[in-house]
Structure 1
Amino acid sequence: MITGEMKSKVDRLWTTFWNNGISNPLSVIEQISYLLFIKRLDDLELTKERKAQRLNRPVSDPIFSIEQQCCRWSSFKNLTDSEEMLHVVRDKAFPFIKNLGQDTLESAYARHMKDAVFLIASPALLASVVGQIEQIPMEDRDTKGDLYEYMLSKLTTAGTNGQFRTPRHIIKMMVELMAPGPREIICDPACGTAGFLVAAAEYLRDLKDGDGNLILNAPGNRDHFNSKMFHGFDFDATMLRIGSMNMMLHGIEDPKIEARDSLSEDHAGVTESFTLVLANPPFKGSVEKSTIAKDLTKIISTTKTELLFVALLLRLLKIGGRAAVIVPDGVLFGSSTAHKKIREVLVENHKLDGVISMPSGVFKPYAGVSTAVLIFTKTGVGGTDSVWFYDMDADGLSLDDKRQPVAENDIPDLLMRWKNRNIEQDSDRTKKAFFVPKAEIAANGYDLSINRYKETEYAEVTYKPPKVILQKLRDLESEIRADLDELERLLG
């Protein structure tokens, strides 16, 4: 968890950009990302050099050539002449990271960096920013992720057009629910900064087999992890750059981050390609009907993005592929024909595995919208017998705009119950988790809201007989009269 001191350092860094005329939040994050990326490359090189020194052998696959040593963070951070530092970073180090991977024509990073611009023009600003970044500890991957998420939380544009940033602990929860394997092909069709893909990568890095060996060390798994596993789509060029850098900073050598408007007819060619989809698609309302991919409108006739994205996920998945997607509560109980249709498709044509109702404050301070997680498997031939529901009341953070850590947290219980779910054991609808038969869901118009099925347990309250209560009231009245009489006597 990021500390208050570290938040203050990021705040000061942010203020430094604003005071020097770079006020667009996305631009600030981009510029900081470039510098963090340069620093990360140098950290990786230093690790290689220390290993080579211990083994008394040359550095294998060095990142920087002899001529590029000046581009290293550990080199230019110590320059006392800020003019010279600006020259090195702007004219050498930035072009170096911009052209990184150009020898690989399919490199997503190279494509998205093509239009990148280094906006820091002031030597004093650069020197100040480099000095401040140097003071922020980022050796730990989790800390680095927390810092990045904190920076993203400062986006004033967050929440517009339905683009809510998914909290990292919710992303991690969804990844753990889906428990990806080493040969998955994972996609996020609205990837933004690639949070879901990064979390899946971190999960797989720590995954071990029955003998305690890291899964990624098995033959072929590491190559699949680095070049074939991760796919992300977005239409925002800035997000594509940030997402690509985020993935590479987390050690994914060749993530497939692509510029795609996932719902449009122009990108309708991607079908049955992935074994796992993790997503928090935008809930911005509606899109122009003429631009929607025809194969999506065959599944469901609507212009609402939250419904179209569920149809999109079905198109993207291979048969047997799984998905976990965040949807606004309206998808669960909306009464329109389109709302009912998409729920019917999930329940009747595929296998709806679970519905997790989340508290409404999860996306604060961006919005107080109530959301849920739908978990389903694409079958094309049905398979839903019963649907598992979970009622999450707390996520470990306060449900106000401050989102401070609190003791109440249902996520560990949710993960445990999901892993051990059993239709016979999870039959009590007064509990947090329970199953509902498909027939009952169908009879209720495929309503998936948990309140439709959850039973409230009322505790019996025993009261004293009315005559006893009446006598108590009379006794109290007598005491009050006596006190008033005494007060009147004292007043003379």
Structure 2
Amino acid sequence: MSISTTIKSIQDIMRKDVGVDGDAQRIGQLVWMLFLKIFDDREQEWEMFDDAYRSPIPEPLRWRNWAADPEGMTGDELKDFVDNTLFPGLQLLQPRGEDTRAVVIRNIFEDAYNYMKSGQLMRQVINKLQDGIDFNTQADRHQLGDMYEQILKDLQSAGNAGEFYTPRAVTEFMVNRVDPRLDEMVMDPACGTGGFLTCTIEHKRSHYVQTPEDEQSLQASIRGIEKKPLPHLLATTNLILHGIEVPEQIRHDNALARPLISWGPKERVDVIIANPPFGGMEEDGIETNFPQAFRTRETADLFMTLFIQLLKEGGRAGVVLPDGFLFGEGMKTRLKEKLLTECNLHTIVRLPNGVFSPYTGIKTNLLFFTKGQPTEQIWYYEHPYPEGYKSYSKTKPMRFAEFATEIDWWGDESDGFASRQETEQAWKVGIEEIKARNYNLDIKNPWKGEQVSHDPDELLAKYAQQQAEIQELRDQIKQILGDALNHATKEKKGQA
């Protein structure tokens, strides 16, 4: 039985369980079980090569001792064990010395949940996993990586969970263009399910890793932060599938929840590749971690401010952002001025509609910038649909091969992209024109004449953007009036 058949039959079994409601819960349930199975397979490998290896998991809680026997616990006994022994035990794991595996497992199970109500159905799922997947065979490992990518894709149609998945073609292209070297620290502070990080791992292995020492450098060069439990679990498992032995670098945290200035020089990185959640709003108070000029509740804008802070001098970034960032005013204008003053925003790739369907139809852009030199000009490249396409869909997704024309056109940053030519898809705009436009970066393809969008998602996005800017102005007026009233009250008291 193939791995894809195994996963499908597991999801069919879960559909019969009254406790598992919807795709997101099914995926969450599947992945904590898959994690324990894969971890047990990895432990067999570690034990083979290291006689001194000791598992961070207590013996009764190891997969091999409660799950592997197909005639083992089932029914109420199994459900009671999982709910009252397994989960509490894993949530309280303590590290031994320098081995941080226990911390990785504890962090995962602090927020994992057993949704299944039927111990019999749970036993059926466990047996399918045990029989159908052997992570220590090369064929299964490769197939499981592909299958996991499909599971993450399925999240796109699981309600709002699609925000955590960036299409594979986009992640590959961005990593290819930013080109993280072996010893460069790469970070995604909004890492979702880990797509950019796993793509970076593959890129470094195929281009730069030649020795076991190189592999160790790679293992230490990846960092991610994700605040939501399900994508954090998915990202950690994803890194294990991609050969990261102890993915402790994936922190379960909100990168925006600490003061911006507290990110000091030691935490700066060489490369940031990210797709911050757009359209999201942070909880009250998060914005106070940022300087007054850059305060907003819009998640993507706060992340952009953080990215600039996190990059070293000479550090490079590739970021996915919606059109709303390009044309937005108010705080967005100040943020774009900061970006273009402190960084060289050398390229904006404008993607067509539907790249992120069905999660959102809003048009998106890929921004590439390097910290340390101000922007003198921005090159735009409008990515066209492939011939015969009018949109993308689940059956006709974007493919990496489509980016061949961009890659051929790209050139080299070290000579200021001297080889770049203006074409029907590519044009450049100087910094003085951008300043005259008050940092509105929503510049259409000049070769196509007047373009008016009637796309409902875009119109709604513009409307939402205008409402946010109106609210920001109201808040500023309230602050000014409040300060004036306080000042007047103090003066009256002084005169009295």
- Compute the TM-score of the two structures, normalised by the length of structure 2: 0.73
| Cα distance between partner residues in 2 of 1:100 and 1:411 | 46
- Greater fraction of residues in helix: 2
Secondary structure of the corresponding residue to residue 321 of structure 1: strand
Question: CA offset at residue 317 of structure 1?
Answer: 1.6
2:38 alignment partner in structure 1: 40
Where do 5+ consecutive residues of structure 2 fail to align?
450-496
Where do 1:251-330 residues align within 5 Å?
251-252=243-244, 253-265=246-258, 269-272=262-265, 273-287=268-282, 290-298=285-293, 300-330=294-324
Is the alpha carbon distance of 1:96 and 1:174 closer, same or farther for their aligned partners in structure 2, counting shifts above 3 Å? farther
C-alpha separation between the residues in 2 aligned to 1:404 and 1:131?
35
Instruction: Measure how far apart 1:325 and its partner are.
Output: 0.9
SS at match of 1:34: helix
Q: Which residue of 2 aligns with 1:206?
A: 206
Q: What amino acid maps onto 1:10 in structure 2?
A: I
Task: Report how many aligned residue pairs link the two structures.
Answer: 433
Alignment of 1:152-301 (within 5 A): 152-155=152-155, 160=160, 163-208=163-208, 214-215=209-210, 217-218=212-213, 221-226=214-219, 228-252=220-244, 253-265=246-258, 269-272=262-265, 273-287=268-282, 290-298=285-293, 300-301=294-295
Deviation of 1:17 (Å) = 1.0
Larger radius of gyration: 1
SS in 1 for 2:30: helix
Change beyond 3 A, Cα 1:131–1:323? same
Give me the TM-score of the superposition, normalised by structure 1.
0.74
2:322 and 2:364 in contact (8 A); partners too? yes
Q: Name the counterpart of 2:480.
A: none
Cα 1:152–1:162 change in 2 (3 A) is closer
Q: Residues 423 and 454 of structure 1: is their aligned pair in 2 closer, same or farther, counting only changes over 3 Å?
A: farther
Gaps of 5+ in 1: 53-57, 209-213, 458-492
1:292, distance to aligned residue in structure 2 (A): 0.9
Please state how far the C-alpha of 1:438 moved relative to its aligned partner. 2.6
2:66 matched to 1:83? no
Deviations 1:79-131 (A, max 9, x none): 23553994898488878876777325863443343454444453431332134
Q: Does 1:370 align with 2:346?
A: no
Residues 365-415 of structure 1 deviation map (CA, whole Å, 9 limit, x = unaligned):
111111001111122xx4323323221124799834424358895223223
Amino acid at match of 2:272: V
Work out the percentage of aligned pairs sharing the same amino acid.
26
Q: Where does residue 28 of structure 1 map in the other structure?
A: 26
Alpha-carbon separation, structure 1, partners of 2:178 and 2:399: 25
**Structure 2 CA distance for partners of 1:240 and 1:296, relative to 1, 3 Å:** farther
User: Over aligned residue pairs, what C-alpha RMSD do you find?
Assistant: 3.9
Q: How does 1:101-140 map to 2 (within 5 A)?
A: 102-103=95-96, 104=98, 107-120=103-116, 122-133=118-129, 134-135=131-132, 139=139
Instruction: Tell me the residue number matched to 1:390.
Output: 381
Deviation of the 1:248 alpha carbon: 2.9
In the superposition, relative to structure 1, how do residues 230 and 109 fare at CA in structure 2: closer, same or farther (>3 Å)?
farther
SS in 1 for 2:434: helix
